[in-house]
Amino acid sequence: MGNFNFIQTEIDGVLIVEPTLYGDHRGYFMETYKESDFKEAGINCTFLQDNQSKSRKGVLRGLHFQKTYPQAKLVRVIKGEVYDVAVDLREGSPTFGKYVGVVLSEENKRQFFIPRGFAHGFLVLSDEAEFVYKCDNLYHPEDEGGLLYSDESIGIDWPFKEGLLLSDKDKVYPTLENLDFKFKL
């Protein structure tokens, strides 16, 4: 499919995207997004917003979602390395409460497509990481929801659990059992 390899994960719709790299002694070139290739792979999003964050080792951001204005995301790392996670919150889904985790780095150039209906988060593994992502809906701070990153019923196998740096809200999000919100399929 063009300049991308789309890899289906254990959860339907969640994809790892590997771009084709063209390199020589000068460096490299790659496409990071091409609408026609993504549509051919079943990703029919119109991305409306691009975001970028910079974090240091041990920062765990997530697990986040928007309730009324859900977002599909195409995420990648341009500097450093992260462990990125998507948790299925689609009520009635055969994989509800399951997660997919993938290492994204500036070296592997992988991207991760997370459809609407998922909580999303990542843990910085390198000394520093710059994380960029496209969203198919605008950010609405009043619409935020979250899921506790350490919920034992989900059992995310974070690469390390000591020395994590979290925001105050990320520390107190509810577990899946206590979550009062689920996405409709």
Q: State the catalytic residues.
A: 64, 133
Q: Smallest Cα–Cα separation from 112: which of 76, 79, 156?
A: 76
Terminal alpha carbon distance of the chain:
28
CA–CA distance, 7 with 177 (Å, rounded to integer): 30
How crowded is residue 91: how many other Cβ atoms within 10 Å of its Cβ?
Answer: 12
Length of the chain, in residues: 185
Residue type, 46: T
Answer whether the bond into residue 63 is a cis peptide, omega within 30°.
yes
DSSP-derived letter for residue 179 is -
Residue 17 contacts residue 111 (beta carbons within 8 Å): yes
User: How is the chain split among helix, strand and coil, in percent rounded to 5?
Assistant: 10, 45, 50
